[in-house]
Amino acid sequence: MTSAIQMIPLNRLIPSPRNVRKTDRKVDIDMLAASIAARGLLQNLCVVETAEGKFEVDAGGRRLAALKLLARDKIIPKDHPVACNIVPIGEGREVSLTENVHRVGMDAIDEVEAYGALIADGGTPEDVARRFGVTRRHVDQRLALSGLSPRIKAAWKRGDVSLDAARAFCLVEDHAQQDAVFKSLGKPVTHATSVRARLMEGRVRASDRLVKYIGLEAYERAGGAVTSDLFDVDAVYIDDPALVARLAEEKLEAGRQAWLDQGWGWVDAHLGQGRPDGYAASRLQPIWRDATPEEKAELQRLQSEIDTLDEALDQDSVEDDPRWEARDTLAGRLETIRQAARVWPPTLIAHAGVVLSIDYDGHSCATCGFIRQDDEKAVRAILAKSAKDAAGEEIPPESEPTGHENICSIDLPKAVIRDLSQVRTHAIRARLAEQPDMALAVAVAAIILRSQFRCELPGVGISAHASRVGDGDPLAAGRNTFADGLPQEEAEVLPWALSQSVPDLLNILAILTASAIDLTHEKGAVVDEERRACADRLAMALDIDMGDHWRADAGYWTRLSKAQLIAAIETAPGIESMTDNNRADLLKAYAKLKREALATKVEEAFAGVAYLPDFLVTSMAAGDFELTDAGYVAVAAE
């Protein structure tokens, strides 16, 4: 293979179609350009002359791109002379293949030692970054690796420590600590996570819920130190967890007085994620007050706009009609005003309290209505007297939120879907708590998804975090009974669990698993469909009849559109059995009614009937039905 070296102007060089490198052509071009600008072109290009007087670059395509970039940025002229080896056209592809196949990238260890030597000779990290066309962070990372203890660097060179693990050791500069952790781990050391966990024992990540709550900046302003991982921007560790806990307690305490000013008897700050102990099984619930004149006027205005939209949508709506969004917005505003009428009875809240806590995402949350066991008797007496004074008007007991709905393929408003899905969540939780074998399957599935697939079983927060969905008996009572039997100290929990029988552990697992479930959803988002599908599977496996947990009342029917009400009444007993003409005349008359009047008609039509929207109907599992002898006879007769 012969070649001649010639200085060729840059603007006469063009990429070659014979260059064998088809991928990664533009990788790190900026870094390569910076290196050429600092030190010049250290390797000639291999080119083939064309009939048009141009030169195709068969070997050195990335170097050509870097030179073009320098010319574009006016660092070098467009006709900058470039040293090139001119080869015959028949040898161009072979030259390209030889250069790319036999190239060996610089080993990370060699790069680390080279950077360290440059710094030892008096260079600065900025000088190294500029000379080699790399970022300052890249240089800092390599220098951190060069500062590892001699034992770990030796182990890295002979393959007893992987590059990822070596990076993890850089979390601390103390060689003695590095060597102690290295000695405690099995060889070879390949898991960076294990190294970080040993080095950072006693610390917490900045992603911890308490750190999210107070804010990393507040922690640092209070004098808290952090340890950051040069190789993982998300790995930031808190050196003083006790300071974080103190700041979180102080921030929670700051909100105490506002609740006391509302009339609550007491306010507790609770940094843990579990259910606070020492409270009665029952909880105080808000009651409904009468709407103010202003609220009534606004409710009427919003309802009028919704009715107008419903009539227009009934006539010419399409699936993606933007007016549906407008309707949902109006319905949401109406529901917000309606929910504002839920109030806490002043005579009762003086005997109840609020627990302030911090959730998994680092948000503060207030759970109202807790009753201490010492106050339970007084609360019951007040409730009994109120019921008597109201002449039969009962104060609503603990109840499942009314008026949320479901998705499925049914076209229901988002708020209705949310409420119905919450009712079904209650049913699933209660049934699951009674079936330890089924709870075991759910828990195992959730743990497998979290540990092996790095995802969650939709709607099942098993780590386990108790979901607050307002359960009544018997799940709440079961949780209280279980909590009463727990040890007082965290260190005693494992010995206590090891001493329990398998049946007792399964019963506890059922309660914990059931308490971690919240399948409430709306519609439209992917997560909504995932939760709905999970709820469908659990309801079917648990053989839940939602007719035992929910009834369609006026609060449900008045939230549907006229089209949905007409579709529902078509299936009502009595109407479904009419002749086609009579049914058509009746439905035409119903269609002329206002929505509220039509809702009343639908409620009357289903009075005494266990109506369920399709969303709440539990599907039957395969094999639930079997053809009887009479069925075989009937099939044969056909």
Q: Which of 104, 8, 9, 23 is nearest to 61 (CA)?
A: 23
Phi, psi of 235 (to 5 degrees): -95, 90
| % residues pLDDT > 70 (the chain) | 76
Identify the three-state secondary structure at position 279. strand
How is the chain split among helix, strand and coil, in percent rounded to 5?
50, 10, 35
Confidence band for 247, pLDDT divided at 50, 70 and 90? very high
d(CA 322, CA 223): 52
Q: Which of 14-23, 43-52, 160-169, 226-235 has the lowest mean pLDDT?
A: 14-23
Q: Please check the confidence at residue 624 and state whether its pLDDT lies above 60.
A: no
Q: Which one-letter amino acid corresponds to residue 43?
A: Q
Q: Please check the confidence at residue 109 and state whether its pLDDT lies above 80.
A: no
Average pLDDT over residues 184-189: 86
Average pLDDT over residues 492-513: 71
CA 295 to chain centre: 36
Tens digits of residue pLDDT in 281-322: 667 888 888 888 898 899 899 989 988 888 887 777 666 778
* Predicted local confidence at residue 346, as pLDDT: 86
* Predicted local confidence at residue 564, as pLDDT: 83
Tens digits of residue pLDDT in 428-471: 888 878 887 777 777 766 655 554 445 667 767 665 445 555 55
Average pLDDT over residues 616-631: 56
Per the structure block, which two tokens stand in for 348? 């009762």
| % residues pLDDT > 90 (the chain) | 8
* Predicted local confidence at residue 473, as pLDDT: 53
Per the structure block, which two tokens stand in for 306? 């919704």
| Greater model confidence, 7 or 95 | 7
d(CA 259, CA 213): 19
CA 538 to chain centre: 21
The ranges assigned to domains in the chain are 4-101, 204-247, 261-389, 400-550
d(CA 415, CA 399): 17
* Predicted local confidence at residue 526, as pLDDT: 67
* Predicted local confidence at residue 222, as pLDDT: 92
Tens digits of residue pLDDT in 405-422: 333 445 677 777 878 888
Q: In what order do the strands lie in the sheet with 364-372?
A: 266-270, 353-358, 364-372, 279-283
Average pLDDT over residues 28-32: 75
* Predicted local confidence at residue 400, as pLDDT: 39
* Predicted local confidence at residue 631, as pLDDT: 54
Tens digits of residue pLDDT in 357-415: 888 788 888 888 888 888 888 888 887 787 776 544 444 444 433 333 333 445 677 77
Residue 601: count of CB within 10 angstroms of its CB = 17
Classify domain 4-101 at the CATH class level: alpha beta
| Greater model confidence, 188 or 588 | 188
Q: Please check the confidence at residue 67 and state whether its pLDDT lies above 90.
A: yes
Taking each continuous run of H as one helix and of E as one strand, the counts in the chain are 29, 14
d(CA 382, CA 375): 11
Q: Is the peptide bond before 474 cis (omega within 30 degrees of 0)?
A: yes
* Predicted local confidence at residue 77, as pLDDT: 92
Residue with tokens 């507040």: 218
DSSP secondary structure string, 72-97? HTTSS-TT-EEEEEE--GGGHHHHHH
* Predicted local confidence at residue 420, as pLDDT: 83
Helix (H) or strand (E) holding 365: strand 364-372
Is the sign of the CA dihedral 439, 442, 446, 451 positive or negative?
A: positive
Residue with tokens 């709870």: 439
Helix (H) or strand (E) holding 452: helix 436-452
Arithmetic mean of pLDDT over the chain: 77
Q: Which of 67, 79, 81 is nearest to 35 (CA)?
A: 67
**What is the end-to-end Cα distance of the chain in Å, rounded?**
87
* Predicted local confidence at residue 575, as pLDDT: 76
Q: Are 48 and 87 within 8 A, CB to CB? A: yes
Q: Which of 70-79, 267-276, 286-295 has the lowest mean pLDDT?
A: 267-276
d(CA 33, CA 63): 8
Q: Which residues contact 248 (CB under 8 A, 6 or more apart)?
A: 210, 213, 214, 271, 358
* Predicted local confidence at residue 76, as pLDDT: 92
* Predicted local confidence at residue 452, as pLDDT: 43
* Predicted local confidence at residue 80, as pLDDT: 93
| Greater model confidence, 279 or 356 | 356
* Predicted local confidence at residue 78, as pLDDT: 92
Q: Which one-letter amino acid corresponds to residue 371?
A: I
* Predicted local confidence at residue 11, as pLDDT: 92
Tens digits of residue pLDDT in 191-220: 888 888 888 888 888 888 899 999 999 999
Helix axes 562-569, 580-591, angle to 10 degrees: 160
